[in-house]
Amino acid sequence: MSGQDHSDRVALVAGYRQLVAAGLGTGTSGNLSRRSPGGMLITPTGIAPHDLLPEQLVAMSLAGKVSPGAIRPSSEWHMHAAIYTGRPDVQAVVHCHARHATILACQRTPIPPVHYMIAITGRDTVPVAPYARFGSEALARSVVDTLGDGRACLLANHGLIAVGDDLQQALRVAEEVEELAAIYCGCLATGAARILTPAQMEEVRRAFATYGQQDGKRL
């Protein structure tokens, strides 16, 4: 194991634990990956974040070939691989069953621009991918088609997926989508939400272009 590979593994384990600490999942329901020179490095199936060791992460090709001696990868590896194949810009993928996002996913209800921070997803709406069985190639195709060039989508009757230029961006997007989902659920429970207009969202995107510390990374 090279020094860089070990560093990537440690970061992925830390990200998995961060996902649970942020309240975006329980048990072994989530999975994370990052692109690697040979394909991707992904969390294994059936191991909870607090039990996961860096050496248990699975190095595999995007075609599904697993390194010799590796344990079984996440059942959702097809979805991660399909995203990396279709989106050369994506360097990390986060999938979780965050509560409010999953509520809306089970209703098959997209998240509209109820709050300006939806711009972090690269779109004005967080769409819902049509239902397909977990772990299936059909789900992978559904997610890639729905995600398009955005950074997040809901999975009907399932959960949430977020992508990023790096692992921390993917985690930030997942956390923000869950917050947006909670806000929208609250609006639906207490009355109709007032949605931002396309013109207002365009103004937000222009403001985001010069917001914060500019380090070359997008929000």
Query: Which residues make beta-bridge pairs with 95?
Result: 31, 161
Give the separation between CA 137 and CA 139, rounded to whole angstroms: 5
The residues near 38 (Cβ < 8 Å, ≥ 6 apart) are 59, 60, 61
Domain parsing of the chain, residue ranges = 3-208
Neighbour tally for 51: CB within 10 Å: 9
pLDDT digits 0-9 by tens, 21-72? 999 988 888 999 999 999 999 999 999 999 999 999 999 999 999 988 889 9
- Check if 175 is active-site: no
- CATH number for 3-208 (one of 3.40.50.720, 3.30.420.10, 3.40.50.300, 3.40.225.10): it is 3.40.225.10
Which residue out of 55, 76, 137, 202 is catalytically annotated?
76
Neighbour tally for 71: CB within 10 Å: 13
pTM attached to this predicted model = 0.93
pLDDT digits 0-9 by tens, 148-180? 999 999 999 999 999 999 999 999 999 999 999
